[in-house]
Chains A and B, each alone.
Chain A
Amino acid sequence: MKTLITIITILSLHFAFGQSTYEKGMTQAFELWQEKKTDDAANLFERIARAEKENWIPFYYAAQVHITASFNSKDAKEIESRLIKAQDLVNEAKTFSDTNAEVLILEAMLNTAYVVYNPSVYGMTHSPKVDKLYLQAKQLEPENPRAILYHAEWQMGAAKFWGKDPKAFCPEVEKAILYFEKESSDVPFYPQWGMNQIERIQANCKS
């Protein structure tokens, strides 16, 4: 009996220890990101992903860091190489989790980044992909607030372009708010971002 307890203790200690390295690493990466040390953050997420194996979450964040950074850059070469890198990371995340709404949402943002960066080259080819990815994500998780919110934002943009009322998608935003409040996950670092963007997107619903 004693031996058993010892083994269990050692194992759980070991597990806890392992867990905490992951958590420590991830927390540190988020801190770096917050400190705007973009490349350090992306590198750390990628290192964690490579060490963890079979975990899509660190790949997901590594890709997200590059995508977000591309939105803030004006250097064509930097944007393109970041987006290529992000696509590689998204593909790796997909190999561990191929029917994952969160990864699809991220991929939709990646394609949005291409369209924003160079509409004349990528508009025609990448816009349909954005729509398709959001639709797929919503099919997998009808209550995913990020899929609903960001698809609504994308559609509002299209509606504005066509001279239609973007307010048509405001009920979607309301729905997203509801689902954000309900959202919870047991998986550490499971994507939960996006709520702070509601105010910006809801600006379309005023006036």
Chain B
Amino acid sequence: MKIITTIILFFSLNAVISQTSVSGIVTDESNTPIPGANVYLDGTYDGGSTDLNGKFEFNTSETGAQTLIVSFLSFESYMLTKDVKDLSGVTIKLKEDINSLGSVILNAGTFSAGDNSEAAVLTPLDIVTTAGAAGDYIGAFQTLPGTSTVAEDGRLFVRGGDANETNIYIDGLQVFQPFSPSANNLPTRGRFSPFLFKGTNFSTGGYSAEYGNALSSVLLLNTIDEPEEEKTELQFINVGLGGGNTQKWGKNSFSFNAFYLNLKPYQNIVDQRVDWINPYESISGESVYRHQFDNGLLKVYGGFTYSDFELNQKDINVPQGINFYLKNRNLYLNSSYQGDLGNDWSIISGVSFANDNNAIAIDNMDVDSADNSFHLKLKFRKRYSNRFKINYGVEQYLTNYQEAASSPDFETFESDYTSNTTAVFTEANIFLSKKFAFQTGIRGSYNSLIQDYKVSPRVSLAYKISENSQLSLAYGDFYQLPGQSVLKYETELEQEKSSHYIANYLYQKNGRMFRAETYYKTYEDLIKYSTEMPQFDSQFNNNGEGFAAGLDLFWRDNRSINNLEYWVTYSYLNTERDYQNFEGKATPNFAAAHNLSVVGKYFKEEWKSMISATYNFASGRPYDNPNSSGFLAEKTKSFNSLNLSWAYLISPQKILYVSASNVLGADNIFNYQYSNTPDVDGQFARTAIRQPADRFFIVGFFWTISDNKNDNQLDNL
């Protein structure tokens, strides 16, 4: 017994005596000492922090091979396994963690919004509280630079491209009919409700090889992964009623919402320039189911809309007007799975399907159409390290379109087509340091209908020039299939092409952001046709071309004035193109040279109110005057609109919301329609295409019911 005690004592004494010193210095890659780093031997209590000179020193009773770990905020942890005796006077260089704050961002062409990421230009609240957006998810994006104000359309016109050149994706899968149908010169709205989405990326050019079939722009929407809580939300608005509910159980959650919109009562009170027979009426519903697996997430989204309206459209050539009736039924399903496959591989896959039916009557002609479209995507991502990742993907698009037009004047005319596109893409994302990153990819696509094969390269790089500023460049080739209105008559065509060259400067500091981007864009192989509108006897070719060049500026400041957030955007656009039935190169009607938006939001605590104002200005838009010689040579007067909104929080869960668009009542003119035949003086008479009403008012009451008494719908207004 004595012997054992002695031995134990001896050993512990020995342990005390044989302490080894571990010491060294910790620096970053440019040899600047890092103070405050945590240095320790793995699995032991032995360690210390580095001092102001990056030096550390501590004693250990451990012997033999040990692992020294060094960790510090925003650096990658460092490990060194050596015999303890060799762990004195070591020099350790930590690598910056490129996933941490302050890393360079690949952002040429791209606006990130609605999430809390560093480069986000809009917060979740902004997307929906922007005055004039009136709860339309798309509205807030129209205040970003690079977009043109085309108030009579409502869709996104990006950098000299028309609205068809922008594609919208939900969870990486295409939305085939993102906008509600509308008649000529009446603005449309996005179909989806804002509250199912979080982070959004809006690219005005130079986007990733993952996305194709869009010449100008992509808008990427992501649904919420996991709702915060169970709740019921009700909306009572002067133009409709809505409600939604979210349930959570185990690893599942389900949300749905429905909205009934009827403009009739409103239009009975407020005078309209449009001669409505049956004002716009729609019923829509959306639902999302989510299931969390151990290593993945499944989301299933479904949306349904039914809408109809009838009006008498003014036309200078038809004194009694043209009767226009439309009934639309749209079903959209989207299911996606993202999961971890182990070994740093992950999978993102999904399928979307849309069924769209239109019944249109134009005077005595009936046009019925049905569109069924699929998009399937399978993407794998391998993460070799924090600094090097590769995506591989394959996609299949399938569209079947059928149309039947009938009128007493001619026999029923049927047209249909089936289009298959197969695409493959791969893209590498490489961070050479926290300051320098690039992304390079390539996309190949083949379309069976027009039997056309295209390969498009994409490159984007970013370099951080100082702590608060960076430069980025992007280049890419982009292709797009001819539109539905062309494909139904002609398939001996090629894809249209554009190339983007983008340079971007970004400055960010303490709640202030300045972004300047200049670009040059070429268009080739644009579709031309010989008649006023595409029709069965038109001659089609790919001989169109064009260019767009411009400068986009964005300034946002959340700091200078307490409770006030504002942003100012200015876009200069110089574009000409020869396409459709143009006589030659000209600036199209939708492209104004100067666009300016000023958006401000002020939260007044004493009034429990959020007051927002948006001012939009666009310089005159080109129009064609047959009384003068040039083509599209004249310009309308400039566009002005001041929109105001006021959200008053009655109680934490009840909100009263009032908004008015164009409060100053500017009589904006978008274009002119000229008579087909000259009058007795040889002059062509005209009518102006104006706003359907000078102002639009919304009054709403939003009520949230949940266990958590502080949640409300302010972020959805």
Contacts and interface: CB of A to CB of B under 8 A. Distances in A.
Interface string A120-163: 11101101110110010000000000000000000000100111
Contact of B38 (A6, A46, A125, A161): A46
B125 A50 contact: no
Given A10-B8, A43-B47, A81-B74, A124 B101 contact: no
A160 B426 CA distance: 55
Given A43-B49, A121-B116, A162-B608, A50 B558 contact: no
B45 A81 contact: no
Contacts of B49: 39-40, 43-44
Interface residues of B, number: 44
Given A81-B74, A122-B116, A132-B708, A39 B40 contact: no
A82 B73 contact: yes
Nearest to A76: B510
A120 B603 CA distance: 9
B228 A128 contact: yes
Given A162-B608, A162-B652, A127 B710 contact: yes
Contacts of B565: 120
A46 B603 CA distance: 41
Contacts of A80: 101
B711 interface: yes
Contacts of B48: 43
A124 B651 contact: no
B116 A21 contact: no
B229 interface: yes
B1 A6 contact: yes
Interface in A34-80: 39-40, 43-44, 46-48, 50-51, 76-77, 80
A124 B43 contact: no
Interface string B36-62: 111010111101110000000000000
Contacts of B1: 2, 6
A11 B649 CA distance: 65
Contacts of A21: 45
A23 B167 CA distance: 61
B651 A47 contact: no
Contact of A6 (B4, B42, B708): B4
Nearest to B40: A47
Contact of B125 (A39, A84, A124): A124
A192 B608 CA distance: 37
Interface size class of A (residues with CB under 8 A): 35 or more
A25 interface: yes
A76 B670 CA distance: 45
A167 interface: no
Interface in B1-57: 1, 4, 8, 36-38, 40, 42-45, 47-49
Contacts of A127: 710
B373 to A, nearest CB: 34
B621 to A, nearest CB: 35
A81 B38 contact: no
A143 to B, nearest CB: 21
A122 B710 CA distance: 14
Contacts of A118: 511
Contacts of A131: 708-710
A128 B42 contact: no
A127 to B, nearest CB: 6
A85 interface: yes
Given A21-B45, A81-B73, A81-B101, 8 more contacts: A43-B37, A51-B40, A51-B45, A77-B102, A118-B511, A128-B228, A132-B228, A161-B605
26 contacts: A21-B45, A43-B37, A44-B47, A44-B49, A46-B71, A47-B38, A47-B40, A82-B73, A84-B100, A84-B101, A85-B73, A120-B123, A120-B558, A121-B123, A121-B558, A124-B125, A124-B714, A125-B116, A128-B711, A131-B708, A132-B229, A132-B708, A135-B707, A161-B608, A162-B649, A163-B608
Interface of A: 2, 6, 10, 21, 25, 39-40, 43-44, 46-48, 50-51, 76-77, 80-82, 84-85, 118, 120-122, 124-125, 127-129, 131-132, 135, 158, 161-163
